[in-house]
Amino acid sequence: MSLIVQKFGGTSVGDIDRILRAAQKTKAEIERGNQVAVVVSAMSGVTNQLVEYCDAITANHDSREYDSVVASGEQVTAGLFALALQAHGIKARSWLGWQVPILTDMQHGRARIVDIPTEELNVSIANGEVPIIAGFQGRTEDWRVTTLGRGGSDTSAVALAAALRAERCDIYTDVDGVYTTDPRVVSRARKIPRIAFEEMLEMASVGAKVLQVRSVTMAMRHRVHVQVLSTFADEIGSDLPGTLIVDEDEIMEKALVSGLAFSRDDAKVTLEGIHNAPGLAAAIFRPLSDAGIIVDMIVQDVATGNDAITNMTFTVGKRDLAQTIRIFEKAKSDKTVDYRAMYSENDIVKISAIGVGMKTHSGVALKMFEVLAEKGINIEVISTSEIKVSVLIKDEYTELALRALHTAYGLDAEEKIDAAQA
């Protein structure tokens, strides 16, 4: 008998009808002779609402209380899912993070799982009960509730699949797999039947929210078989042509560019007119690091003139922009970073092309620059890695740029021929 971990995301448990339908997937998997453990997200929209409640009191909240509030959405769905399974005649019970326990470090709001003792879950499963585990949450050693960062239920599911030595981790969501880009933005996006861990990791880390980044690293490290599939399609489990995440060498034909991703989560900051001397970058990025602010793209202009004046541009999360500005206003008055002017921009998007084929072929970046130039889109910042090229452009061009690049990289799905026209 194999154990399958099934994870249902927010839309999949968005209302009572959907919870009952999702529970049918669990029932069907049991009828195929498998054991199942379920991980659930909060109903769609609930976590956003809970975050808004916290923000409405203060933007600078006590992250331990923030976690206690935002973790509550998953408690509701875990209970409801257990009730739905019971209504389908299946023994089930809910488990909160602290009850399992899912033990994490103390980084509230973005905690990392450190251990999942599975003795009690195993007893429950052996007794023929389906455990319904609240995703996204855990507890610290000193019994405070933690959350794993937005989208964290994916990570809960993969971590549980690893801890329970599950045969597979099925991520049920509102699309039927991982696509060449977000199918809600580019209608000609194509489903990718098999994607390499490394590509999935890169796609997720530059904005493809279909899987949380950490869930992919965890799956890679613990060799968990992950499959992304639709809650709303009728088939279940491995019969469904969803997306399997596999080792690079299991993919016969390596696409030069396998996907495009975008992120509107970042803001751009420029410090203009700074004297370039040894230690400049450290002086700029140390206070950000001390404040736990993650910096993504960084560009330093070539210093010019006798006094070597330069500019530093970088991106931080939109949520961290206000704090970043405060940090550099203080740094200017303390004279720890002496710049002439600071500018920031919120209306930007980062667009990235990803593909393991880039390791061996050139021209991907050039094509991106040419396509954007043809469309009259200005590139503000560029960054590259072994299997990725990213550019920062104005947000208003997101769809235009994605569609043009999708076509240029040969990613478009074949157009469906209307039978009536044929």
Binding-site ranges for ligand ASP (CB under 6 A):
9-10, 41-42, 47, 73, 135-136, 150-154
Nearest approach, Cβ of residue 134 and ligand ADP (Å): 14
| C-alpha span between 242 and 36 (Å, rounded) | 19
Q: Which is nearer to ligand ADP, 194 or 209 (CB)?
A: 209
Closest to Mg ion by CB, 9 or 131: 9
184 near ligand ADP (CB under 6 A) = yes
Query: Which of 47/258 has CB closer to ligand ASP?
Result: 47
> Does position 178 bind ligand ADP by CB under 6 A?
yes
Comparing CB distances to Mg ion, the nearer of 231 and 324 is: 231
C-alpha neighbours within 13 Å on the C-beta side of residue 83: 10
Candidate list 151, 237, 242, 355; residue touching ligand ADP; CB under 6 A:
151
197-231 burial, b if ≥16 CB within 10 A, otherwise e?
bbbbbbbbbbbbbbbbbbbbbbbbeeebbbbbbbb
Q: Which is nearer to Mg ion, 9 or 138 (CB)?
A: 9
Work out what residue 42 binds among ligand ASP, ligand ADP, Mg ion, none; the CB cut-off runs from 5 to 8 Å by kind. ligand ASP
What residues from 27 to 66 belong to the interface with ligand ADP (CB under 6 A)? Answer: 41
List residues binding Mg ion (CB under 5 A). Answer: 9, 151
SS3 for the chain is CCEEEEEECCHHHCCHHHHHHHHHHHHHHHHCCCEEEEEECCCCCHHHHHHHHHHHHCCCCCHHHHHHHHCHHHHHHHHHHHHHHHHCCCCEEEECCCCCCCEECCCCCCCCEEECCCHHHHHHHHCCCEEEEECCEEECCCCCEEECCCCCHHHHHHHHHHHCCCCEEEEEECCCCCECCCCCCCCCCCECCEEEHHHHHHHHHCCCCCCCHHHHHHHHHHCCCEEEEECCCCCCHHHCCCEEEECHHHCCCCCCCCEEEEECCEEEEEEEEEECCCCHHHHHHHHHHHCCCCEEEEEECCCECCCCEEEEEEEEEHHHHHHHHHHHHHHHHHCCCCCCEEEEECCEEEEEEECHHHHCCCCHHHHHHHHHHHCCCCCCEEEEECCEEEEEEEHHHHHHHHHHHHHHCCCCCCCCCCCCCC
237 binds ligand ADP (CB under 6 A): no
In the bound state with ligand ASP, the residue whose beta carbon lies nearer, of 229 and 284, is: 229
Which span (126-134, 175-183, 358-366, 396-404) binds ligand ADP, by CB under 6 A? 175-183
179 binds ligand ADP (CB under 6 A): yes
CB of 136 vs ligand ASP, minimal distance in Å: 4
Return the number of the residue (43 or 189) whose C-beta is nearest ligand ASP.
Answer: 43
182 binds, among Mg ion, ligand ASP, ligand ADP, none (CB under 5 to 8 A by kind): ligand ADP
- The binder of 14, among ligand ASP, ligand ADP, Mg ion, none, by C-beta within 5 to 8 A per type, is none
Indicate the residue among 73 and 355 with the shorter CB distance to ligand ASP. Answer: 73
Identity of the residue, 46 or 372, whose beta carbon is nearer to ligand ADP in the bound complex: 46
Which residues are registered as beta bridge partners of 272? 341
Which of the listed partners (Mg ion, ligand ADP, ligand ASP, none) does 152 bind, with a CB threshold of 5 to 8 Å by partner kind? ligand ASP
Tell the smallest beta-carbon distance from residue 192 to ligand ADP (Å).
8
Residues 193 to 222: which contact ligand ADP by CB under 6 A?
Answer: 208-210
Q: How far is the CB of 291 from ligand ADP (least distance, A)?
A: 27
Q: Is 186 in the site for ligand ADP (CB under 6 A)?
A: no
What residue ranges bind ligand ADP (CB under 6 A)?
9-12, 41, 151, 173-175, 178-179, 181-184, 208-210, 259
